[in-house]
Amino acid sequence: MTTSKQSKASRAARITTVVAGIQKHFLSLVTMMLGNTSFTPAALITLLQGDIAASNKATATRSQLTTDVDAAKQSHQTVDPLLRFLRAFVIGQFGDTEASASILGDFAMAPRKARSTNVDAKAQAKAQAKATRVARNTMGPKEKAKVKGVVPAAQPTGNATVTAPATPVASTAPAPAKV
């Protein structure tokens, strides 16, 4: 049999036909040599029928898996909103502060983290973000648009010296006005 792409049904039908052919023409043989392996016709028939059974079992298992996955998705669609409502209910009953952390922990929830409203902390965070952008050479869309690559000239055949490509020059012209 070839390993070409065929449906399970057509493969099973083909193997069933092969089994019928073996029973009709080779059942009187004692053994058959196939690929340097000796088979009795009965053993070969059993092997081929086992292949059909394995394929059918795989199909049934896949069908059951698909059914189970669909049931799980349906259950998630039902339960997820309830969990959100329950979270709101628990927070409404006990609050979401650090004082109620142990009660929220009983529901696998955690209180909200307190945000820093300190002006110095916010200024420090802004300076840190700017320093990170500079260190990573992060550019915004306008800066990225100004950077253009240069294709090096074609190499001549022979012993010519290689020159480094010119560095890209950012245009200082204003961006075109939008119409």
Percent of the chain with pLDDT over 70: 83
| Alpha carbon 169 to its chain's center | 41
Q: Quick one: pLDDT band at residue 2, thresholds 50, 70, 90?
A: low
Residue 149 CB contacts under 8 Å (≥ 6 apart), including other chains: 168
What element of type H or E holds 147? none
Per-residue three-class SS string for 12-30: HHHHHHHHHHHHHHCCCCC
pLDDT digits (tens, 9 = 90+) for 89-116: 999 999 888 888 899 888 888 888 877 6
**pTM higher than 0.75:** no
**For residue 173, is pLDDT > 80?**
no
Q: What is the DSSP string of 32-58?
A: EEETTEEE-HHHHHHHHHHHHHHHHHH
Please give the pLDDT value at position 42.
92
**For residue 141, is pLDDT > 90?**
no
**For residue 136, is pLDDT > 90?**
no
pLDDT digits (tens, 9 = 90+) for 20-32: 998 988 888 899 8
**Residue ranges of domains in the chain:** 8-70
